[in-house]
Amino acid sequence: MSLRNAACIAGAFEHPTRLAPDMTTPQLHAECAAGALADAGLSLTDVDGYFCATDAPGFGPISMIDYLGLTVRHTDSTEMGGCTYIQHVAHAAEAIAAGKCSVALIALAGRPRSEAVQRFRPGAPEAAFEQWVGLTNHTSYGMCAARHMHDFGTTSEQLAWIKVAASHHAQHNPHAMLPKVVTVEEVVNSPMIADPLHRLDCCVTTDGGGALVVVSPEIAKTLNRPVISLLGAGEATKGPSGGLGLDLTVSAAAQSGPRAFEEAGVTPADIKYASIYDSFTITVLMQLEDLGFCAKGEGGKFVADGNLISGTGKLPFNTDGGGLCNNHPMFRGGITKVIEAVRQLRGEAAPAVQVPNCDLAVATGIGGSLGARHGAATIILERQS
């Protein structure tokens, strides 16, 4: 079974909040769900499949299904960190293709700025060997960047261009948390957090969320929205797995990306717009290489000189400002990657960053800890004419 044209994204909604001290997380989930369904022209009663991950409060998918008053015949609470919601689009397409549901709701929300968030799961087999290490995301991704610099001569200035490009896009997003355009000098002169990553190499932390509605092609045709089809999808995981042959310069996207492109029958050269999970600048650089937009080790040259800036660069990326400048709700940037790709394919991105004739886009992400063990998910989306 191929997922090519198996399902369509009919609804996409990004919550405008970035700080929500007076809301509850279930409320935020519900507002995201309502927003995506309204965008699709559907309602809660149309939903027959529900997809969520561990950000959803309560017991698996069950608490929120009950809170929302849904009646579903398919659930999926697959968890793979921040890229989960990219993966959920593919899993929803699988379920739709198998006849298990026809209107799948995918939702993410959380308030890490407003309430304590449990981020580590007890009982992991690696816990006794890693808890004392102090492996924050900063040092985990920092070690990847340090090794990439060592092996390929990548520089902090090259990484900074990724943030610079994101900031050029964020200035056109009225909801962006950091809408100010920054320079390479400002990035490399910002305080060092975890060598070699500076404060401006890191994404924002935001309260917020988003939701997607994935439907069967038959239902998509009945809705008064552009038809955005899934062409291909790939997922993968990677970890030290015993510690032999460790290579921190390659991510699991080196497997998820080619799988998605093969299923879609397109190549990186065909892509008009790319949503690339940007937890840190190095996350983007490694995924660009791993998806095949450039050779391994050439990412620094690829991103330099504004090549990711819409309108002037060769590969417009994260035109909402991404996680680096716009939004990274609940430490999870997967859903906003899909949402901006849908906006671009519909022609609904901010006019200053809209890619002309944008009919083919990729959304890709990393979940977990890039320098330890992580997952990757990639989807290719096309606007049907």
Partner 1 sequence: MSARKLSAPQPNPETQTFWDGLGEGVLRIKTCEACGKPHYYPRHVCPHCGSDRTRWLETAGRGEIYSLSVMRRGEGAPFAVAYVVLDEGPAMLTNLVADDLDALAIGQRVRLAPQASDAEATGDGPSLPFFTPSGD
Residues forming contacts to partner 1 in the complex (CB under 8 A) are 125-136, 138-140, 142-147, 150, 191-197, 240-244, 246, 248, 371-372
Residues 316, 325: Cα–Cα separation, whole Å: 15
Nearer to partner 1, 72 or 203 (CB): 203
> Least Å distance between CB 84 and partner 1?
24
Task: Indicate the helix (H) or strand (E) that contains 12.
Answer: strand 8-14
Residues 271, 313: Cα–Cα separation, whole Å: 13
DSSP state of 323: I
> Least Å distance between CB 208 and partner 1?
24
> Least Å distance between CB 350 and partner 1?
33
Contacts of 51 (CB under 8 A, 6+ apart): 61, 75, 76, 77, 78, 88, 91, 92, 104, 105, 106, 107
> Least Å distance between CB 193 and partner 1?
6
> Least Å distance between CB 373 and partner 1?
10
Nearer to partner 1, 126 or 218 (CB): 126
Nearer to partner 1, 201 or 290 (CB): 201
Using only C-alpha atoms, what is the Rg of the chain? Answer: 19
Helix 281-291 vs helix 156-170: crossing angle, to nearest 10: 100
The neighbour count for residue 104, using CB atoms within 10 Å, is: 30
Nearer to partner 1, 249 or 256 (CB): 249
Sign, CA dihedral 298-251-378-3, equals: positive
Nearer to partner 1, 136 or 183 (CB): 136
- On whether the CB atoms of residues 276 and 364 are closer than 8 A, the answer is yes
What letter represents residue 176's amino acid?
A
Nearer to partner 1, 2 or 241 (CB): 241
- On whether the CB atoms of residues 264 and 5 are closer than 8 A, the answer is no
> Least Å distance between CB 370 and partner 1?
12
Output phi, psi for 248, to 5 deg.
Answer: -80, 0
Nearer to partner 1, 38 or 133 (CB): 133
Q: And the tokens for 216?
A: 């069967």
Nearer to partner 1, 210 or 371 (CB): 371
Output phi, psi for 377, to 5 deg.
Answer: -140, 140
The neighbour count for residue 184, using CB atoms within 10 Å, is: 19
DSSP state of 4: T
Q: And the tokens for 222?
A: 């009945």
> Least Å distance between CB 10 and partner 1?
42
| Residue 310 CA: distances (Å) to CA of 172, 349, 351 | 12, 11, 11
Sign, CA dihedral 374-375-378-379, equals: negative
Nearer to partner 1, 136 or 312 (CB): 136
Nearer to partner 1, 32 or 197 (CB): 197
> Least Å distance between CB 252 and partner 1?
17
Residues 277, 281: Cα–Cα separation, whole Å: 9
> Least Å distance between CB 23 and partner 1?
28
> Least Å distance between CB 116 and partner 1?
16
